[in-house]
Structure 1
Amino acid sequence: MTLDTTPTILIVPGLRDHVAEHWQTLLQQKLPKAASVPPLEQDKLSCAARVAALDAALAKIDGPVILVAHSAGVMITVHWAQQHNRKIHGALLAAPADLEMPLPAGYPSIDAIAQNGWHPVPRKPLPFPSIVGASRNDPLAQFERVRAMAQDWGSRLVDLGEVGHLNPAAGFGEWPMAQTLIRELL
């Protein structure tokens, strides 16, 4: 019997959960060893509920894990990392949403975000290797603020250029660079 040491890719979606044409959903379908944090049925804006859902998804996986987070999923990941000790092989943190700044119309207010436990954004170094992919024209986060977060987390910053929020609204379904960055974490 051989021990499988290939990491499982665990998708950590943002507040809008699973979108069929999103790069995370498409990536999960392509990878032989991938799973996703399931959508919440209640307490959808609760940071604690989101962190608990990530922890429950991790509990179902034996062996090494690479987290692939997007938007508020990045914040879920960094909150989780401050509270739990499970060894993580690495993390791709794409287009983090800056939940300490007001978000565009259609997103929760900064007060609602604060009331649901998202503040402050953890700034301690992450206990695993990580890559932050940052957009220069993301409506949910200013590049320089994301750069500062990446530095605080001890993450390698990858400047993605002007890719908006790296979602279907910004023209992204497939995002081939995700696989390249994940390979760097292997």
Structure 2
Amino acid sequence: MTASVLLLPGWHNSGPDHWQSLWQDAHGYTRVEQHNWDFPLRGDWMIQLEEAVLANPNAVLVAHSLGCVLVAAWASHSRHAHKVKAALLVAPADVERPEMQHMLHSWSPIVRERLPFPSVMAASRNDPYCSLLRASALAHAWGSRLVDCGAVGHINTDSHLGDWPEGHALLLDLLKEKNGH
């Protein structure tokens, strides 16, 4: 059975020029929609992910920013995390930073449990929302293989990566591993 790909955008969603949106358009991947992209509540987002995984067993998750924190929180609570085959975690958001507490209070503390599925984290050396040191610590806690993408900001539209072929290559590697090729 081929794995389906679930896209998990971060806070404020991923706009039309974001690599997640470009991948969705080019490859037909499924975006997990949230009720409120601008005032995210962790519990609400976890329910949406739970429903998406139940509808798409054998999924590979592709999370960006707050989506990475969502994956960790969801995996620690869900009885269905075994249905996920792998995850690509891109530019995790450090929601524990003091300036993030006002808007993202329900997201702290970040769950630091090993994910029950294989994962790769792509992180940047100059991400304004999470230092590489912090991303490395999260990757270690989650059991993720860390990929240093260099100095490419938050790995989003502002990074001018287009459809980010290097990231898609990471995803294709995960899909190959999970499909036994």
Moved over 2 A (4+): 41-44
Residue number in structure 2 paired with 1:106 = none
- Contact 1:18 1:39 survives alignment (8 Å): no
Matched, 1:113 2:104: yes
Structure 2 unaligned segments of length 5 or more: list them: 176-181
How far apart are the structure 1 equivalents of 2:172 and 2:37?
A: 35
Q: Which has the higher helix share?
A: 2
RMSD between superposed Cα atoms in Å: 1.6
TM-score, normalised relative to structure 1: 0.87
- What amino acid is the match of 1:151? H
Equivalent residue of 2:71, what SS? helix
Residue number in structure 2 paired with 1:73 = 67
Equivalent residue of 1:161, what SS? coil
Structure 1's 22 and 43: CA in aligned 2 closer, same or farther, altered over 3 A? closer
Equivalent residue of 2:138, what SS? helix
How far apart are the structure 2 equivalents of 1:35 and 1:168?
A: 19
Residue number in structure 2 paired with 1:128 = 117
Q: Of 2, 9, 18, which residue of structure 1 is paired with 2:5? A: 9
- Alignment size in residue pairs: 173
Matched, 1:162 2:151: yes
TM-score, normalised relative to structure 2: 0.89
- What amino acid is the match of 1:85? R
- Contact 2:13 2:37 survives alignment (8 Å): no
- What amino acid is the match of 2:134? R
How far apart are the structure 2 equivalents of 1:49 and 1:172?
A: 30
Structure 1 unaligned segments of length 5 or more: list them: 104-108
1:7-156 to 2 correspondence within 5 Å?
7-32=3-28, 34-41=29-36, 44-61=39-56, 63-86=57-80, 87=82, 88-103=84-99, 109-114=100-105, 117-156=106-145
- Contact 2:95 2:101 survives alignment (8 Å): yes
1:130-153 CA-to-partner distances (Å, cap 9, x unmatched) read 000010000000100100110011
- Contact 2:11 2:38 survives alignment (8 Å): no
Identity of aligned residues (%): 38
How far apart are the structure 1 equivalents of 2:116 and 2:11?
A: 24
Q: Which is further off, 165-174 or 136-145?
A: 165-174
Structure 1's 43 and 55: CA in aligned 2 closer, same or farther, altered over 3 A? farther
